[in-house]
């Protein structure tokens, strides 16, 4: 039977956050947010910076470079579980924020009491109206860091319109779902503008002048082309997962979209990395931004990382041996190609596992059904291409398995970020020969 590699190589810890206080550890069941006591004059606004070095030694790969060779030792990081689950000591509670009481009530109904680090530091700046660059590890509550204060902004001024641009359909849908929870009872409408969904329905909703528009670059360009959206009315822009949009080649489309917006606006920019190319985008899109960095390393301290050495054994048999173990109760498996992912999913079903797949050849409705079934534990194994690696918040994923080695270390970081979220311990395994 294949075993985890024993040549563990603990990585050096990254620097502590730029802001004072204990280093973030993941933040238990929290929604995100917090107030910086010296910068909360007006009800809405922005944040400040930092950019730590990679968790593991060596230069950081340029975002998304394809075909780069990755040192296998970077897939190994044995975590001290007791240390990893320490909770971040937030300066605030959600009840402290100067936001509308109805928003606080909705936040409380979701069970959120204490903000995560990015929320703790960013929300006060967003409330004050500042442009912000937020740098944080994946799975740290960035969505809440902008949705809560921006919803409050709309409550105070009903003429406000917010555009949120994200790289993938799944992330857009997830953000809109989060928005609905926070805005319950407000009467403010939102629309998710993504490819793979009915364009006519989206156009009709845009015609009702929704307060929040969440979309992907391609479909937003389509809406501009058919004059279904007037971006001159949008005074607030959010660019989420900006590094992924750069990796996927969307920046030209993003520039085109932003050119239709007012020059005087509030812009919030969130990314897991801060490369030279990202810095250029910050300079082009933001005005005197405050920077908030709560990133402690490329990978979260709550993810135990290791490799599975195949040593000539059949790959699917080794995977089967792992999946029958009781601790593998909610497993996300990453493959490199759409065909390979679909084939593996079908093989697992024939072997008796409750499995589903998501990849680019699936329609949006099929992808969403598979994600929902996985989130709600109707299936316990989801096989995916990298389309699922960014931004998705899937509760309680026990294991991420890299069935195929990722194309870049950046892809690896975002794949394994689907586990070890919200203060829980997670396991990441990478198959290697």
Span 372-400, pLDDT tens digits: 999 999 999 999 998 765 667 788 899 99
Nearest one of 237, 238, 248, 235 to 277, comparing CA atoms: 248
Find out whether 389 and 323 touch, Cβ atoms under 8 Å.
Answer: no
Distance CA(62)–CA(275), nearest Å, equals: 8
Return the sign of the alpha-carbon dihedral for residues 281, 284, 285, 291: positive
Question: Which of 7-16, 233-242, 375-384 has the least mean pLDDT?
Answer: 7-16
**Distance between alpha carbon 148 and the CA centroid of its chain, in Å?**
16
On the question of pLDDT at 338 being above 70, the answer is yes
What confidence score (pLDDT) does residue 320 get? 97
* H/E run at residue 192: strand 190-193
> How would you classify the pairing of strands 331-334 and 399-402?
parallel
**Please, what is the Cα angle at 330 between 325 and 331, to 5 degrees?**
85
Find out whether 195 and 169 touch, Cβ atoms under 8 Å.
Answer: yes
DSSP 8-class letter at 197: S
Q: What is the DSSP string of 239-299?
A: E-SHHHHHHTT-HHHHHHHHTTS-SS-EEEEEES---HHHHHHHHHH-SS-EEEE---SSS
- The better pLDDT of the pair 170, 46 is held by 170
List 306's β-bridge partners, or say none. Answer: 429
Nearest one of 328, 336, 379, 338 to 358, comparing CA atoms: 338
On the question of pLDDT at 2 being above 80, the answer is no
**Distance between alpha carbon 411 and the CA centroid of its chain, in Å?**
13
Extract the tokens encoding 285: 């899109």
Q: What is the pLDDT of residues 58-93, one digit of tens each?
A: 333 333 444 456 776 676 665 554 444 445 577 888
Q: What is the mean pLDDT of the chain?
A: 80
Cα 4 to Cα 121, 363, 414, 417, 430: the distances in Å are 38, 36, 21, 20, 9
Find out whether 33 and 144 touch, Cβ atoms under 8 Å.
Answer: yes
On the question of pLDDT at 299 being above 90, the answer is no
* H/E run at residue 84: helix 81-84
Distance CA(143)–CA(152), nearest Å, equals: 14
Q: Rounded to two decimals, what is the model's pTM?
A: 0.64
Find out whether 193 and 216 touch, Cβ atoms under 8 Å.
Answer: yes
Domains of the chain: 45-75+87-293 (3.40.50.300), 303-432 (3.40.50.300)
Q: Which of 9-18, 183-192, 300-309 has the highest mean pLDDT?
A: 183-192
Q: How many residues does the chain have?
A: 433
On the question of pLDDT at 409 being above 60, the answer is yes
Beta strands in 49-174 (DSSP E): 132-135, 162-165
Distance CA(403)–CA(399), nearest Å, equals: 12
Query: Per-residue pLDDT averaged across 215-244, rounded?
Result: 95
Extract the tokens encoding 385: 């291409």
Find out whether 24 and 88 touch, Cβ atoms under 8 Å.
Answer: yes
What confidence score (pLDDT) does residue 87 get? 52
């Amino acid at each position: 039977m294949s075993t985890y590699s024993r040549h563990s190589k603990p990585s050096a810890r990254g620097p502590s956050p730029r802001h004072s206080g204990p280093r973030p550890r993941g933040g238990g069941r929290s929604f995100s947010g917090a107030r910086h006591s010296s910068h909360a004059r007006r009800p809405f606004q922005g944040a400040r910076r930092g950019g730590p070095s990679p968790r593991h030694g060596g230069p950081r790969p340029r975002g998304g470079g394809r075909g780069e060779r990755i040192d296998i030792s970077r897939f190994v990081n044995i975590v001290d579980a007791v240390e990893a689950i320490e909770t971040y000591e937030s300066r605030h509670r959600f009840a402290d924020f100067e936001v509308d009481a109805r928003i606080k009530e909705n936040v409380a109904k979701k069970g959120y009491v204490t903000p995560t680090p990015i929320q703790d530091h960013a929300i006060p700046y967003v409330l004050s109206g500042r442009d912000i660059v937020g740098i944080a590890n994946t799975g740290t509550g960035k969505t809440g860091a902008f949705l809560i204060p921006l919803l409050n902004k709309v409550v105070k001024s009903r003429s406000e319109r917010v555009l949120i641009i994200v790289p993938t359909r799944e992330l857009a849908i997830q953000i809109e779902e989060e928005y609905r929870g926070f805005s319950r009872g407000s009467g403010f409408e939102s629309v998710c503008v993504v490819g793979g969904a009915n364009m006519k329905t989206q156009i009709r909703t845009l015609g009702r002048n929704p307060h929040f528009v969440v979309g992907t670059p391609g479909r937003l360009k389509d809406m501009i082309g058919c004059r279904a959206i007037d971006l001159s009315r949008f005074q607030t822009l959010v660019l989420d997962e900006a590094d992924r949009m750069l990796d996927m080649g969307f920046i030209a489309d993003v520039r085109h979209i932003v050119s239709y917006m007012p020059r005087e606006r509030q812009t919030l920019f969130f990314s897991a990395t801060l490369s030279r190319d990202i810095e250029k985008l910050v300079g082009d899109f933001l005005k005197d931004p405050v920077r908030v960095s709560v990133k402690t390393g490329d990978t979260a301290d709550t993810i135990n990382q290791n490799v599975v050495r195949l040593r000539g054994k059949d790959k699917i048999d080794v995977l089967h041996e792992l999946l029958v173990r009781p601790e593998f109760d909610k497993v996300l498996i990453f493959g490199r190609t759409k065909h390979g992912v679909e084939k593996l999913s079908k093989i697992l079903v024939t072997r008796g596992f409750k499995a589903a797949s998501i990849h680019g050849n699936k329609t949006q409705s099929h992808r969403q059904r598979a994600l929902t079934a996985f989130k709600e534990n109707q299936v316990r194994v989801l096989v995916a291409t990298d389309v699922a690696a960014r931004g998705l918040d899937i509760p309680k994923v026990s294991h991420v398995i890299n069935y195929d080695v990722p194309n870049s270390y950046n892809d690896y970081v975002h794949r394994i970020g689907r586990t070890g979220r919200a203060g829980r311990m997670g396991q990441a395994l990478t198959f290697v020969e």
